């Protein structure tokens, strides 16, 4: 019987067993290849697989906190019960496992590929950093499983870490005008995080990003300040438009979902609208623009050039869904994304290597070694690793 037929005949329990065997390393290389091909075409198996990987990551991430905190070690029995409640929020940066499975990884370098391959001495998974919450009074709090209780409570708002792993601001009463107290959530390289603001709007922050926002919103606008990349789902409020301020622009909405990529170390500011409608203002160059769904604006901070075009929404939001997708992108741009997630530096022995273009589809929780081994089989590009730096050569 062909393996395709064997997998097609599996019921849910059999799929669960096969996935556990894969995660525990019980499959041979040939069986792993068959497993990946099957997983690519089975939506139900992908759902089960994703949940099992999340659980595995969360357990390992919490274990790391126990290992570095003596007090937590004494509470290990209690925490082992607790940690099963952790799911989506902390899965995004559960990055301390030694081997993480990769599924559906395909890399093309059109129109041809070479077969050369060099040894790569590198074992690296997403970095084990954690977000930091900076309160208005200057206090800084690591956002970790230890802080499941209410972090801060005032007459106007409770700040708490929910069982789902996200940070939540729960307003106690209608906001009143007065002194605005700002918090800043810093998400370092190697992790992701999401939070619910006091108005109910949700924000997902990518690695190497920060968001400054008021504990509660009041007045005729809801303004936040972003550095890096974030996806927003904004609660509708005609009386108070939601404004995202970056170094290069203001983005104004009433209620919608969109992604902004505005890292200070990149010239391009990229805004992608998923639903609703947004208006962007670029005061330094005196330009304004309105986006409709599935449209994208790209602003060059150096030249002042502003372009709009149809967006590849799936690729833009891949980071939020635990994937890495690059469609005909430059190697330098791909490595910018990888280096923020895995927290390494990159050195190119030849500047021209930055412009080599690739197609990349990968699980974001894979070992970077797996991705690099695939990359270096194309066009004779090689990678060596030393002191947290990847050297790219040809």
**121-158 residue pLDDT tens:** 343 455 557 899 999 999 998 887 665 567 788 888 88
Q: Which residues contact 193 (CB under 8 A, 6 or more apart)?
A: 89, 92, 93, 131, 143, 166, 167, 185, 187, 204, 205
Closest CA to 215 of 230, 231, 197: 197
Coil, helix or strand for 323?
Answer: strand
Closest CA to 124 of 340, 377, 388: 388
pLDDT digits (tens, 9 = 90+) for 175-212: 665 678 999 999 999 889 999 999 999 999 999 999 99
pLDDT at residue number 82: 38
Residue, of 359 and 115, whose pLDDT is higher: 359
Sorted by where each begins, the domain ranges of the chain are: 3-86, 107-126+317-393, 226-302
Residue, of 379 and 365, whose pLDDT is higher: 365
Averaged pLDDT, 295-321:
95
Closest CA to 226 of 199, 195, 180: 195
Domains 107-126+317-393 and 226-302 share a fold: no
pLDDT reading at 172 higher than 50 = yes
Quickly state the pLDDT bin for 164 (edges 50, 70, 90): confident
**CA contacts within 13 A on the Cβ side of 222:** 21
pLDDT at residue number 154: 81
pLDDT at residue number 33: 74
Averaged pLDDT, 372-391:
83
**Arithmetic mean of pLDDT over the chain:** 78
pLDDT digits (tens, 9 = 90+) for 55-107: 544 444 444 444 434 433 334 333 433 333 333 333 333 333 333 333 344 43
* Both tokens assigned to 161: 């870490």
Percent pLDDT > 90 in the chain is 45
pLDDT reading at 392 higher than 60 = yes
Phi, psi (5° rounding) for residue 140? -115, 130
pLDDT reading at 339 higher than 90 = yes
Averaged pLDDT, 245-268:
94
- Answer yes or no: CATH 3.20.20.20 is held by domain 226-302: no
pLDDT reading at 54 higher than 60 = no
Check residue 165 and give left, alpha or beta (phi > 0: left; psi -120 to 50: alpha): left
pLDDT reading at 258 higher than 50 = yes
Closest CA to 339 of 206, 230, 212: 206
pLDDT at residue number 311: 96
Coil, helix or strand for 87?
Answer: coil
Bridge pairing between strands 222-233 and 242-245: parallel
How far is residue 14 from each of residues 18, 20, 46, 53, 303, measured CA to CA in Å? Answer: 6, 10, 14, 17, 57
Threshold 0.95, pTM exceeds? no
CATH topology of domain 107-126+317-393: Phage tail protein beta-alpha-beta fold (3.55.50)
pLDDT reading at 8 higher than 90 = no
């Amino acid at each position: 019987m062909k393996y395709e037929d064997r997998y097609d005949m599996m019921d849910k329990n059999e799929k669960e067993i096969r996935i556990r065997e894969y995660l525990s390393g019980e499959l041979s290389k040939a069986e792993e290849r068959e497993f990946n091909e099957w997983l690519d075409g089975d939506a139900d198996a992908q759902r089960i697989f994703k949940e099992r990987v999340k659980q595995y990551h969360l357990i390992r991430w919490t274990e790391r906190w126990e290992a570095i905190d003596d007090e937590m070690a004494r509470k290990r029995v209690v925490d082992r019960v607790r940690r099963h409640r952790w799911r989506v929020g902390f899965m995004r940066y559960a990055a301390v496992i030694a081997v993480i499975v990769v599924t559906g990884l395909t890399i093309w370098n059109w129109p041809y590929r070479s077969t050369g391959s060099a040894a790569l001495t590198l074992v690296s998974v997403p970095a084990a950093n954690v977000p930091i919450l900076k309160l208005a009074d200057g206090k800084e709090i690591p956002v970790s499983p230890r802080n499941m209780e209410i972090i801060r409570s005032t007459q106007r708002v409770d700040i708490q870490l929910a069982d789902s792993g996200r940070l939540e601001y729960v307003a106690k009463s209608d906001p009143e005008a007065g002194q605005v107290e700002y918090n800043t959530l810093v998400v370092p390289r190697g992790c992701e995080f999401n939070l619910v603001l006091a108005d109910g709007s949700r924000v997902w922050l990518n690695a190497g990003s920060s968001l400054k926002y008021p504990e509660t919103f009041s007045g005729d606008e809801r303004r936040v300040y972003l550095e890096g990349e974030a996806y927003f789902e904004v609660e509708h409020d005609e009386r108070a438009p939601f404004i995202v301020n970056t170094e290069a622009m203001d983005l104004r909405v009433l209620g919608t979902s969109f992604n902004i990529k505005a890292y200070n170390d990149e010239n391009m500011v990229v805004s992608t609208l998923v639903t609703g409608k947004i208006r962007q203002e670029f005061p330094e160059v005196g330009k304004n623009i309105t986006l409709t769904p599935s449209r994208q604006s790209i602003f060059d901070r150096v030249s002042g050039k502003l372009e709009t075009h149809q967006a590849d929404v799936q690729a833009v939001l891949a980071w939020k869904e635990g994937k890495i997708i690059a469609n005909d992108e430059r190697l330098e741009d791909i490595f910018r994304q990888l280096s923020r997630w895995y927290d390494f530096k990159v050195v190119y022995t030849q500047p021209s290597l930055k412009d080599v273009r690739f197609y990349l589809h990968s699980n974001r929780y894979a070992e970077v070694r797996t991705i690099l081994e695939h990359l270096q089989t194309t066009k004779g590009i090689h990678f060596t690793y030393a002191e947290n730096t990847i050297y790219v050569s040809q």
